[in-house]
Structure 1
Amino acid sequence: MKRLTAILALIIFAKSLMAQPTQKPMLYGTNWMAITGKPMAATAGSMIFQQGGNAVDAACAMLAATCTMWDTLSWGGETQVLIYNPKTKKVIAINAMGVAPTGATVAFFKGKGYNFPPEYGPLAATTPGTPGGLIYMLVNYGSMSLEQVLAPAMHMAAGYAIEAQAANAMERDKDKIKQWPYSAKVFLTHAGQQREAPEGGEIFVQKDLLNTLTKMVAAEKAALKKGKGRKEALMAAYDRFYKGDIAQEFVRGCQEQGGLITMKDLAQWKPIEEEPLMVNYKGIDVYKLKQWTQGPVLLQALNILENFDLKSMGYNSPKYIHTLYQAMNLAFADRDFYYGDPYATPAEPMKGLLSKNYAKQRAALIGFDKNDARIGPGNPYPFEGKVNPYINLLKQRGFEMDTTIRNFAPTHDLGNNTPKEVYEDRLWRGTTSIEAADKEGWVVSVTPSGGWLPACIAGNTGIGMSQRMQSFVLDSALNPFNVVAPGKRPRVTLSPSMFLKDGKPYLSAAVQGGDTQDQNLLQFFLNVAEFGMTVQKATEAANFNTNQLWLSLGGTKTADREPKPGQILLNSNTKEEVRNALKKMGYTLSFTDRTSGPINAIYFDWKHGSFWGGSSNHGEDYGIGW
């Protein structure tokens, strides 16, 4: 009888959940869908679609617009992309992450007293990846010219009504901005007045950025005038940025302010096309970028959770929250020690980490009575037929690798005293997201980032430099795969997702928010796949976040990054009985009104031949469909 009552309660709860209205309406389209972090930038994508461009062209236009709007990123940042190619029926990945420059060594940063590279300023900068990534996308999968896709961004650079969010960020960070003369020139348009940054709605002009973008388009047009083909013309623009006069000014401005980037660093960098990583979860193929991102965390967590009947637990029940929290902690513990640049040595044990048998071993560590504050990295090497070369390093950190004994986290993994507001700023920092799809079958998911406010602008280029160096470590005991070195990519949080079912696109999704990205994407996906939510309801549904991980961003001391075991961020509407049950399991609770994360997503309705667009009520993100 009790079992029947419980089942009926779950059914009633599920029906009531489905009946609740969303704060934003669903987006629908049959021809195309464009969603990103700002309505104005989504409009840029719609303009390209209306001119006959495909989803890749539209994504490039939205990327350019968000960079120009300083939507938590800039042109000097990094871009990472998943693309479904309808011609090959495959998902491909584009790695447009910049690299550490010449001179960026452990000794250099430790000599300045850092435990991690700095979070702001010229020494935080990797080489810019976004211009190269955008052009690579356009060359290989787009259909339009650079002039066409940059037109909305160039129009904005000439002057647009700035949004209050960006304008207020400039004002709030003006003391940092004043350290860098080229940034002050761009952002503090009313220098010496009480409010030195623009006001919301003021026409914000970026002459230097417009000049840079104009030079790139001029290089393309000059090549076409000489009879060059489309690809060669686009690459002429690429070369002008990375090898020509734009590069010269970028390097001059960077080095003048104390940065390390050289002309050789820019010339040698190139975007890379990759085969993404994939696991199957209950018949759905889930694609993520490689281990230079945190994307495999989602894959590992799904492998672990496949061993549990999540649906029977009920959406956001104490048992469900606890199970997901533990699974995420297991995956993040592996991320924090094993993920790094696949193009540098040593090689990461990804085959073992993504093994279903390894996931079963990790799942067996989950107990249902309390939070395990002492969980650490596992040992994936036996699952790819190898011996773990880092056993001694893990033991040095204090982890017990005998699988018959529960892992033990050393003292410095058992919490820190960073103030809640500072910690959560670092946890959620940076980024925007872009989703695009068209009737020809192209699907694009992007999580670009870097160069966010307060950005250090490189000379008279108008381009804010990346701050992604801070995601490296300087101590191999923290992660031997992610130690800073010239020419190496940092392990980043940036993590778009794509899901295929029966060989066809099922969902495409991305979210901003630092270390919370794959936490929120995991819950979004389960909302749809396990609980049958619509894509809009799934983007708005209350998520929770674990703080039991090493932060990827913020602070230059080890104490700034340490995990906060058992700390959990819940939605303010969480029921009292759920709160009490979690407290009894040893969790420390905090609350906020919106916990979905600013997720953007597209669902593919093959029954009706339409797109369903979802955009969370967490931020200003939105889209347009047709």
Structure 2
Amino acid sequence: MESNLFEFTSRRSPVISRYGIVAASQPLAVAAGLKVLSMGGNAADAAVATAAALAVTEPGSTGLGGDAFCLYYEASTRKVYALNGSGRAPAALTLERLEAEGFGQTLPRFHPYTITVPGACAAWCDTVERFGRLPLLKVLGPAVELAHEGFPVAPQTAYLWQRAATSQLASAVNGLELTLNGRGPRAGEIFRNPGLAQALTMIAIEGKDAFYRGAIAHAIVEVVREAGGCLTLEDLAAHESTWEEPISVTYHGVHFWECPPNGQGIAALLALNLLETYDLHRLDALSPERLHLLIEAMRLAFADARHYVADPVFARIPLEELLSKEYAGERRKLIDPARANPAVRHGVPFASSDTVYLAVVDAQGNACSFINSNYMGFGTGIVPRGWGFSLQNRGHNFSLIPGHPNQVAPFKRPYHTIIPAMATREEDNSLFACYGVMGGFMQPQGHLQVAVALVDDQLDPQAALDRPRFCIEPDESGSVVALEEGIPVKTMAALADRGHHVRPVSGVGRTLFGRGQVIYRDPEQGVLWAGSDPRADGCAMTLGSS
């Protein structure tokens, strides 16, 4: 059966429950998370089960060859924890090496030098080890079953898979292993992945050493060497996730939390700080007046993020100053309510990833905001022979400009686009929402727009995700603003009159605007409300009882 994937002519109600909810971009992955909850697992167990199932059912967005980040809300302590599961550059990847080989300011998108150590496997294991209740064998069991028995491919996944089959998978070493005789599977067609089933089984039994030190590691190094890269067994064996202090700002009584750099979550927080003094709730949601303010705040936030976001082990990032209300007050002076600012630059604070995102809240109120990604679809498209997953190209986000904070260097983590989010109430630190919007540089923009919808407009999660979005396209000037079908034409024209270079987007182009999940907790009833993005194949589902 064929359908137009991007004509949103129907509506969804939010999913409401007392007993725990899983929301993700693939129903089969949601079912995997619910199965683990029903076995006695908590939000951490279910999130990893869902992430692993997504690695099977949506390999063009995520997998063992990618990275992951996690925010975990522990209900008993009302505290938010952050896990950085991103990988580092190989020891041999130096700026001098790249200069000698004639590269410019950035690496080519799918070059083997863009392969950083895949961090997802360690992130899964570390999340379960710290917060989970179940053994990995049970947590990864549903994903193993899906990979071994096969699954019917979902419509949007099939569309993107077919495109990748003619691009990086067609030319990458072993890339055709993730195709059906050179083509992407059709919607509803069964795809089996016995190599990935074997990899997941080994990890379930042996833990992360199976990936970073065993046969899988040897296969990764072998294929990277064959492709012309420089990743080694020593690079893989040295990898570890890091638990870090999350960063946050308050916005109208709500604490919004993000992982700290090297992720770009700070961009969403900077924009919220800038917007806090405006009465957005008095402006129509899709009016030019409101969208202009959001766009200008996001431009200023991106200017700072592009300049300051890097691996904090290698560069000083003035987080406290950047996130201060005083700094926001100074930067806010650059916003003209009537005109677009064509020359946004980063500020100087005064002293003092095609991706999958999933959300889980369990019956006890624990929440896991989890994001997993290859970047640019299948990443490099390079596949370790026989193991059923492709290797990411996160190193493409390194700068090759000498002295830049994000300059490529051995053992360094690159600027990372994937970001989970969490929100708690300022008055008592209770859970407000577990949420995220995936999609490269759209992600902080999606976080901002969903946050405003939830707080200023008090929309339910599904309505917040259904609302048409803008996207400042990844351009050094930040001058092009894509506007999704559903934003009134009069608003588009008025934004153009204000000096914005607008680009209306409809049809399949709507993938630009990301794919999100939201689970909100009602403070009075303790009831969970959830939504899943119509721009994806997924859904939010709940357990029937505890």
TM-score normalised over the length of structure 1: 0.80
Instruction: Specify the alignment match of 1:187 in structure 2.
Output: 178
Amino acid at match of 2:272: L
Q: Is 2:483 the partner of 1:570? A: yes
Residue 43 of structure 1 corresponds to which residue in structure 2?
A: 31
Alignment equivalent of 1:56, drawn from 44, 55, 58: 44
1:232-251 matches, cutoff 5 A: 237-251=207-221
Please name the residue that 2:71 is paired with: 82
For the 8 Å contact 2:60–2:161, the answer to whether it is kept is no
More displaced 10-residue stretch of structure 1: 363-372 or 286-295: 363-372
In structure 1, what residue type is equivalent to 2:422?
Answer: M
> Which residue is equivalent to 1:390?
none
Equivalent residue runs for 1:37-186 within 5 Å: 37-69=25-57, 70-110=59-99, 111-158=101-148, 159-175=150-166, 176-184=168-176, 186=177
TM-superposed CA distance for 1:45, in Å, is 0.6
* Comparing 38-47 and 197-206, the one that deviates more: 197-206
Count of residues in correspondence between the two structures: 524
| Distance change (3 Å), C-alpha of 1:576 and 1:266 | closer
- Equivalent residue number for residue 440 of structure 1: 364
Work out the CA distance in 1 between the residues paired with 2:234 and 2:469. Answer: 45
CA pair 586-134 structure 1, distance change in 2 beyond 3 A = same
CA deviation profile, 1:292-337 (whole Å, cap 9, x unmatched) = 1110111111111112222223322222111111111111000111
Partner of 1:515: 441
Distance 2:181 2:301 in 1: 48
Deviates further, 28-37 or 158-167: 158-167
Counterparts in 2 of 1:173 and 1:248: CA distance versus 1, 3 Å: same
Please, which of 490, 497, 520 is the counterpart of residue 421 of structure 2? 497
1:348 aligns with 2:317: yes
Q: In structure 1, what is the Cα distance between the partners aligned to 2:113 and 2:422? A: 34
- Measure, in 2, the Cα distance between the counterparts of 1:583 and 1:149: 50
Show the counterpart of 1:232: none
Instruction: Supply the distance in 1 between the matched residues of 2:452 and 2:325 (Cα, whole angstroms).
Output: 18
Provide Cα deviations, 1:402-448, integer angstroms capped at 9, x if missing partner: xxxxxxxxxxxxxxxxxxxxxxxxxxx50010100011121000121
For residue 121 of structure 1, report the CA deviation from its aligned partner: 4.3
**Shift in Å at residue 494 of structure 1?**
0.9
Q: 1: distance between equivalents of 2:417 and 2:165?
A: 27
| 1:33-83 deviation per Cα after TM superposition (whole angstroms, max 9, x unaligned) | 001111111111111111111111110101001111215112110000000
Deviation at 1:463, TM superposition (A): 2.7
Q: What does 1:303-452 correspond to in 2, within 5 Å? A: 303-344=273-314, 346-380=315-349, 382=350, 384-385=351-352, 430-450=354-374, 452=377
Equivalent position amino acid for 1:92 in 2: Y
Contact 2:273 2:328 in 1 (8 A): yes
Unaligned runs of 5+ in 2: 1-8
* Paired amino acid for 1:360: G
User: For residues 238 and 597 of structure 1, what CA distance do their matches in structure 2 show?
Assistant: 30
Residue 619 of structure 1 corresponds to which residue in structure 2?
536
Shift, 1:29, TM fit: 1.3
Identity %: 29
The answer as to 2:473 corresponding to 1:484 is no
- Contact kept, 8 Å, 1:170 with 1:187, in 2: the verdict is no
Q: 1:592 aligns with which of 499, 505, 520?
A: 505
Instruction: Measure the CA separation in 2 of the matches of 1:24 and 1:592.
Output: 22
How far has the Cα of 1:122 moved from its partner?
2.5
- 1:138 Cα offset (Å): 0.7
Counterpart contact for 2:136–2:205, Cα < 8 Å: no
Q: Is residue 198 of structure 2 the alignment partner of residue 211 of structure 1?
A: yes
CA shift digits 1:450-500 (9 cap, x unpaired): 1632621123332311110011111147xx221111101011111111110
For 2:90 and 2:416, the matched residues in 1 are separated by: 16
Q: Secondary structure of 2:491's partner?
A: helix
Partners of 1:289 and 1:295 within 8 A in 2: yes
Contact 1:600/1:621, CA 8 A, preserved across alignment: no
After TM superposition, the structure 1 = structure 2 runs for residues 4-19 of structure 1, keeping only pairs within 5 Å, are none
Amino acid at match of 2:502: L
Q: CA deviation at 1:287?
A: 0.6
Matches of 1:568 and 1:217, distance apart in 2: 44
Alignment CA distance shift 1:42-1:323 (3 Å): same
Is the alpha carbon distance of 1:168 and 1:187 closer, same or farther for their aligned partners in structure 2, counting shifts above 3 Å?
farther
CA–CA separation in structure 2 for the residues paired with 1:241 and 1:92: 25
Q: Residues of 1 paired with 2:275 and 2:304: CA distance?
A: 16
Q: Is the 8 A contact 1:251 1:262 kept in 2?
A: yes
| 1:77-100 deviation digits (Å, cap 9, x = unpaired) | 000000001232200000000111
The answer as to whether partners of 1:297 and 1:335 remain within 8 angstroms in 2 is yes
How far apart, CA to CA, are the structure 1 residues paired with 2:487 and 2:12?
21
Give the whole-Å Cα distance in 2 for the aligned partners of 1:43 and 1:322: 40
Instruction: Pick closer, same or farther for the CA change 1:460–1:352 going to 2, 3 Å.
Output: same
Q: Contact 1:82 / 1:91 at 8 angstroms: preserved in 2? A: yes
Instruction: Identify the match of residue 581 of structure 1 among 469, 480, 494.
Output: 494
Q: Which letter maps to 1:493?
A: T
Deviation track 1:168-227 (CA, whole Å, cap 9, x = no partner) reads 44443334323334221x223325xxxx443333332222222222222342xxxxxxxx
Aligned counterparts of 2:454 and 2:159: Cα–Cα separation in 1: 36
Deviations 1:359-408 (A, max 9, x none): 0000011112311111101111x2x24xxxxxxxxxxxxxxxxxxxxxxx
SS in 2 for 1:304: helix
Kindly provide the CA deviation profile for residues 557-610 of structure 1, in whole angstroms up to 9, marking residues without a partner as x.
Answer: xxxx53341x22223333343233222211222223458632200010122221
Match of 1:525 in 2: 451
Residue in structure 1 matched with residue 3 of structure 2 by the alignment: none
- TM-score (norm. length: structure 2): 0.91
C-alpha displacement at 1:282, in angstroms?
Answer: 1.9
Contact 1:288-1:495 at 8 Å conserved across structures: yes
Whichever residue aligns with residue 487 of structure 1, its letter is: F
Q: Which moved more, 1:60-69 or 1:576-585?
A: 576-585
Aligned-partner Cα distance in 1 for 2:215–2:193: 19
- In structure 2, the residue matched to 1:297 is 267
Q: Find the aligned partners of 1:173 and 1:505 in 2 and give their Cα distance.
A: 39
AA aligned to 1:180 is: A
| 8 Å contact from structure 1 (residues 82, 498) kept in 2 | yes
Distance 1:169 1:527 in 2: 29
Partners of 1:580 and 1:246 in 2: how far apart? 54
Distance 1:282 1:239, change over 3 A: same
- The residue that corresponds to 2:392 in the other structure is 466
> Is the CA contact 1:540–1:596 (under 8 Å) kept in the aligned structure 2?
no
Letter in 1 for 2:151: Y
Q: Name the CA distance, whole Å, in 1 between partners of 2:362 and 2:28.
A: 19
> Is the contact made by 1:307 and 1:363 (CA closer than 8 Å) also made in structure 2?
no
In the alignment, the residues of structure 1 paired with residue 331 and residue 74 of structure 2 have an alpha-carbon distance, to the nearest angstrom, of 35
How many Å separate the matches in 2 of 1:304 and 1:167?
A: 40
Cα distance change of structure 1 residues 564 and 330 upon mapping to structure 2, 3 Å threshold: closer
Higher Cα Rg, which structure = 1
Distance 1:252 1:579 in 2: 51
Paired residues of 2:144 and 2:197 also in contact (CA < 8 A): yes
CA distance in structure 1 between the partners assigned to 2:181 and 2:38 by the alignment: 38
SS in 2 for 1:101: coil
Distance 1:541 1:200, change over 3 A: closer
Name the aligned partner's letter for residue 500 of structure 1: T
Cα distance change on mapping 1:76 and 1:370 into 2, 3 Å: same
